[in-house]
Chain A
Amino acid sequence: MTSRNSRLGLSLFAVYLVLYIGFVLLNTFAPNTMEATPWAGINVAIWYGFALILAAIVLALIYGVCCGASEDQS
């Protein structure tokens, strides 16, 4: 059960890591792309920032629900 949790944790971590690295690299090497306003008149910098915060909360909840479920079974 523990190893299942930590495998799940690591894969969710990988998802977030990709998002975060994407954000940091985009800011560093293509800061001008952050100025585009793709939707609702709000720029990529803000959307991506909100998305990262939301992603952290959503991934944390997914992890919590899945780990809880596996503990109930055991």
Chain B
Amino acid sequence: MIHSTSPIAILFFLIFVAITLGLSFFLGSRAKSSQGYFTAHGQIPWFVNGVAFAGDYLSAASFLGICGMIAFYGYDGFLYSIGYLAGWVVALFVIAEPMKRLGRFTFADALNARFQSRGIQLAAGVSTLAVSVFYLIPQMVGAGVLIQPLLGLPHWVGVLLVGATVIVIVVTAGMVSTTWVQFLKGALLVIFSAILTVMVLNRGFDVKDGGLDGYQFRTLGPIAGEFPQAASDVPELADYELLDTGGKLGFPPYLRTRNKETKEIVTWLIDPQTDGKALLRECQTLTQTSSGEVLVNGLPKGVGPGHASLRPVGFLSSLPDGKTSTRPIGPLKFISTLQQSEVVLWHSQKFLSSEGVEPAEVTTIFSPHPTPGSQVLRPGESPTFKGIRSDKFVDKLNFLSLMLALFCGTASLPHILIRYYTVKDAAAARKSTIVGIACIGFFYVLTLYMGLGAMTSGSLDVSDSNMAAPLLARGLDENLFAVISAIAFTTVLGTVSGLILASAGAVSHDLISLFTHEKLSEHEQVRVAKIASVVVGCLAIVLGILFQSLNVSYLVGWAFSVAASANLPSLVMLLFWRGVTKQGVIAAVLVGMVSSLAWILLSGDTFAAVYGLPAEKALVPFSQPGIVTIPLGFLTLIVVSLLTKPKTAV
């Protein structure tokens, strides 16, 4: 699809950036000491801290990724919502209060409270950095992905803009400004998601043949006989010539025709019916040539005669009882109506041009598949989770492993953990977590409505699931789109600030002190942290540009798995077992971190997405490491602790 630049969106975004930067400079004067810089003097009110938790946690992956996944595949995206929220229960009931009691600045403090060991400080500092940087990459890539369609600027500008803004926020006032940026973003995100949901319910459902541009996708037939010969008898195809597919581009099930006049290539999905006849469903194609040309349906991408662009989709093919429109609808009725309707979902399939054909091409065919609502609203319909419908036990393990990593990951994310030090006591830490859970839980319920709303909005871009939520807003109201786009962008700002601050804390508080003989003064620590913020920020910009083609949600899952495997075993065991030794903690952090990273690097997902190798050649049986590496972390900690038990212990 071609997204036009929205001046209002740019305006809103600039206003947000101006407010946050203004706030940072205003608050900067209050953050001179390391106490002030890292933890805002522990003086953040619990309610503000709670909303800031939401702002810290609800990253671009939550907002754009989950809505997009629900819009494209249905229920499966909601499984992420459930898993992400469940992690907070661990944070509240198990981790929150001890973290607050034990530590002062960083996660390493809390781990090290009993031992004062340099080894633990090093291991925890390195794991904080590793997790934060892996979490940073998808956020920065997300910024670039967003800015292109939203503000009409190239990818690297988005990454650079976010990087620069965040560095200024973090350097000027550290945790104080970061907290207020996250508070602002968290509040806006939840409020505007609620507004969007109300508008979706108010719109209800309509039966249509196409998206908001008014184009009606054609369905021909039923046709009897053998393809491709049978197609020459179809009256609607009189103006088209059949293209010799010669086995290319997946014939069957796709039939390629070219309009004799406009030269547009129309691809049809041959959809066999139970009576032996077949329907032809109109598809869309996107071709990228090695010379950099982009073709839509065989014509150069663009507007005007001789050009084509992907058409917006997202519509119902039938409603229950033969109705064609529902009018405004209640939140429960919305789901029960969809359950009995039929939705046209779009599947995509990629084809490489045959060898020797120049220029080399990659063609993606987007084909419509009318799908019963009951199927849309059940788990296991997306490529990510289809394993649960498999008969093989190993396929099911991947899902179990991911749900375990999401459950254990939240409470082990360093940028979330440091937020416990910004309030004055354990009671305030608890209260702010409760506020956080309420905001985040409410938001995740809304993701289901926004996702399903986008699925039926008529404004979906078949080639980009990340754009589902902003485009849903565009379909409803242009100003709302501007605000939602700007919020999505601020979403990246808030999370990235938290991550950079967590990394800077690890460097200046945990790592640097290992290599200096004298203890750094407060003032020096803050200076080191500011330098570290700039360095990590620049690193994030570079990585964000380098990894721009990598899938965003894939990397977020990576960070969760590494965090859960490296940090959770030590955190939990320290609280509940007196026999933990410092060697045990060091070994558990290192083994958890290295094993989960190695597992991911050897997994089928990475083989396919990063190395371009077939997923079947992967060296591990499934892609998500959690179910193996989290228990491995616990086991390492217990075994090493028992082996290194002090002999004098009573």
Identify the A interface with B (CB < 8 A).
2, 5-6, 9-10, 12-13, 16, 20, 23-24, 27-29, 31, 34-35, 37, 40-43, 45-46, 49-50, 52-54, 56-57, 59-61, 63-64, 67-68, 71
Q: Is B380 an interface residue (CB 8 A)?
A: yes
Contact A56:B441 (CB < 8 A) given known A23-B82, A41-B340: yes
Q: Mark B475-492, 1 if CB is under 8 A from A, else 0.
A: 000000000000000000
Residue B396 CB within 8 A of the other chain: yes
Encoded as 1 (CB less than 8 Å from any A CB) or 0, chain B from 57 to 84 comes to 0000000000000000001001101100
Contact B378 A64 (CB under 8 A): no
A9 touching B378 by the CB < 8 A rule?
A: no
User: Is the pair B93, A12 in contact by a Cβ cutoff of 8 Å?
Assistant: yes
Which residue in A5, A35, A42, A53 is a CB contact (below 8 Å) of B441? Answer: A53
Which residues of the partner chain B approach A2 to less than 8 Å between Cβ atoms? 97, 426
By a CB distance below 8 angstroms, the chain A residues around B94 are 9-10, 13
Enumerate B290-344 residues with CB–CB distance to A below 8 Å: 332, 335-336, 339-340
Q: B427 contacts the other chain (Cβ, under 8 Å)?
A: yes
Task: Mark each residue of chain B from 365 to 389: 1 if its CB lies under 8 Å from any CB of chain A, else 0.
Answer: 0000000001001111000000011
For A63, list chain B residues within 8 Å (CB).
Answer: 92-93, 430, 434
Q: What are 8 inter-chain pairs, A to B, with CB distance below 8 A?
A: A6-B98, A16-B93, A27-B380, A41-B335, A45-B377, A52-B85, A54-B441, A61-B434
Contact with A along B93-106 (1 / 0, CB 8 A): 11001100000000
For B89, give the chain A residue with the smallest CB separation: A16
Which residue, A50, A53, A67, has most C-beta atoms of chain B within 10 A?
A: A53
Interchain CB contact under 8 A, B445 and A45: no
Select one of A28, A46, A60 contacting B335, CB under 8 A.
Answer: A46
Is B615 engaged at the interface, CB distance under 8 Å to the other chain? no
CB-CB contacts below 8 Å: B371-426 with A: 374, 377-380, 388-389, 396, 399-400, 403, 407, 426
B444 and A53: CB pair below 8 A? yes
CA distance A60 to B435 in the complex (A): 9
Cα distance, A60 to B82, chains bound together (Å) = 16
Q: What B residues does A35 contact at CB under 8 A?
A: 374, 378
Interface string of B444-463 (1 = CB under 8 A from A): 11001000000000000000
Contact between A43 and B339, CB atoms less than 8 A apart: yes
Using A9-B94, A28-B399 as known contacts, say yes or no to A52 and B82 having CB atoms under 8 A apart.
Answer: yes
Q: Which residues of A contact B92 (CB under 8 A)?
A: 9, 60, 63
B86 touches A29 (CB 8 A): no
Minimal beta-carbon separation of B417 from chain A (angstroms): 17
Instruction: Kindly list chain A residues whose C-beta atoms are within 8 Å of the C-beta of B388.
Output: 27-28, 31
How far apart sit A21 and B468, CA to CA, in the bound complex (Å)?
A: 31
For this complex, into which size category does the number of interface residues on chain B fall? 35 or more
* A27 nearest CB across to chain B (Å): 5
Q: Which residues of B contact A40 (CB under 8 A)?
A: 332, 336
Bound Cα distance A59, B88 (Å): 11
Q: What are the residues of chain B within 8 A of A53 when measuring CB–CB?
A: 81-82, 85, 441, 444-445
Main secondary structure of the interface of A (DSSP, over half): helix
B78, chain A: closest CB distance, angstroms: 6
Q: Is the CB of B89 within 8 A of A31?
A: no
With contact pairs A24-B400, A27-B379, A42-B332 given, residues A56 and B93 touching in the complex (Cβ less than 8 Å): no
For the complex with contacts A42-B336, A45-B379, A46-B78, 12 further pairs of A-B residues with Cβ separation under 8 Å are: A5-B97, A16-B89, A20-B86, A31-B388, A40-B332, A40-B336, A42-B339, A52-B85, A53-B85, A53-B441, A56-B441, A57-B438
Whether, in the assembled complex, B178 has its beta carbon less than 8 Å from a beta carbon of chain A, the answer is: no
Q: Which one of B332, B378, B396 contacts A29 once the chains associate, using CB atoms below 8 Å? A: B396
A43 CA to B88 CA in the complex, in Å?
25
B448 / chain A contacts, CB cutoff of 8 Å: 46, 49
Cβ-neighbour of B377 out of A10, A16, A46, A61 (below 8 A)? A46
| B196 CB–A CB distance under 8 Å | no
Which of B82, B89, B430 gathers the greatest number of chain A CB atoms within 10 Å? B89
Q: Which residues of A contact B82 (CB under 8 A)?
A: 23, 49, 52-53
Report the separation of the CA atoms of residues A31 and B378 in the bound assembly, to the nearest whole angstrom: 8
CB atoms of A31 and B75 under 8 A apart:
no
Query: Are A13 and B90 also in contact (CB < 8 A) when A27-B79, A31-B380 are?
Result: yes
Report the bound CA distance from A21 to B427 in whole Å: 29
Cα separation A59 to B82 with both chains bound (whole Å): 15
Name the B residues within 8 Å of A56 (CB-CB). 85-86, 88-89, 437, 441
> What's the nearest-Cβ distance from chain A to residue B96, in Å?
9
Cβ contacts under 8 Å, A46 to chain B? 75, 78, 335, 377, 448
Task: Decide if B433 is an interface residue (CB 8 Å cutoff).
Answer: yes
Q: Give min CB distance, A3 to chain B, whole Å.
A: 11
A10 to B82, CA, bound (A): 20
How many angstroms from the CA of A48 to the CA of B627 in the assembled complex? 23
The answer to whether A31 and B444 touch across the interface, beta carbons within 8 angstroms, is: no
Closest 3 CB pairs of A and B: A41-B336, A13-B93, A9-B93
Which residue on chain A has the smallest CB distance to residue B336?
Answer: A41
Give complex CA distance A37, B427 in Å: 42
Residue of B nearest to A27 (CB): B379
Considering the chains assembled together, what is the distance between the CA atoms of A71 and B89 in angstroms? 21
